[in-house]
């Protein structure tokens, strides 16, 4: 899906759990492109510009379950104000109730469960 669509779905979910996350915006930056070049499994970062999730161009090529899993994980970092991967993942699993897993070393979520949660959130 479009990066903008994945962002709006995941932000809708994240803001349900933590209304402060409704103000988070997305950005593109040279640093995240460089990080992706160096380490192809890196598609996003947070804690660069306050209030933003920076997203690499190639993110848009990922399949939907990876796009949603990665962004939910990034919202987890912001919600927990922690750089630790297990804190971000625990927030997705426990606070959002979405069974995040890792496939091919990337965050992955079952799309049906995300869509179902989103429909509950946005009638
Ligand atoms: Zn950045
Ligand atoms: Zn992370």
Q: Is this structure's pTM higher than 0.85?
A: yes
Query: Tens of pLDDT along 88-107?
Result: 999 999 999 899 999 999 99
Compute the distance from residue 38 Cα to the ligand 1 centre, in Å: 15
Q: Are 71 and 8 in contact (CB under 8 A)?
A: no
pLDDT for 116: 76
Domains of the chain in start order, with CATH, are: 3-121 (3.30.2010)
Quote the ligand 2 centre to 123 CA distance (angstroms).
Answer: 30
Q: List, for residues 52-101, the tens digit of each pLDDT value.
A: 999 999 999 999 999 999 999 999 999 999 999 999 999 999 999 899 99
What is the pairing mode between strands 101-103 and 106-108?
Answer: antiparallel
In the Cβ-directed half-sphere of 100, how many Cα atoms lie within 13 Å?
Answer: 28
Share of the chain above pLDDT 90, in %: 85
Strand, coil or helix: 88:
helix
CA of 119 to the centre of ligand 1 (A): 30
Rounded to the nearest integer, the mean pLDDT of the chain is 94
Cα–Cα distance, 114 to 75 (Å, whole number): 14
The Å distance, Cα 121 to ligand 2 centre, comes to 25
């Amino acid at each position: 899906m479009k990066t903008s669509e994945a962002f709006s779905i995941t932000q809708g979910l994240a803001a349900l759990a933590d209304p402060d996350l409704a103000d988070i915006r997305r950005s593109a930056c040279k640093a995240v492109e460089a990080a992706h070049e160096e380490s192809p499994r890196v598609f996003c970062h947070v804690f660069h510009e306050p209030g933003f999730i920076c997203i690499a161009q190639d993110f848009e090529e990922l399949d939907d379950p990876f796009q949603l899993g990665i962004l939910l994980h990034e919202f987890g970092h912001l919600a927990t104000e922690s750089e630790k991967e297990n804190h971000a993942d625990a927030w997705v699993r426990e606070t959002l109730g979405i069974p995040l897993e890792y496939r091919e070393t990337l965050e992955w979520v079952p799309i049906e469960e995300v869509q179902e949660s989103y429909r509950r959130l946005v009638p």
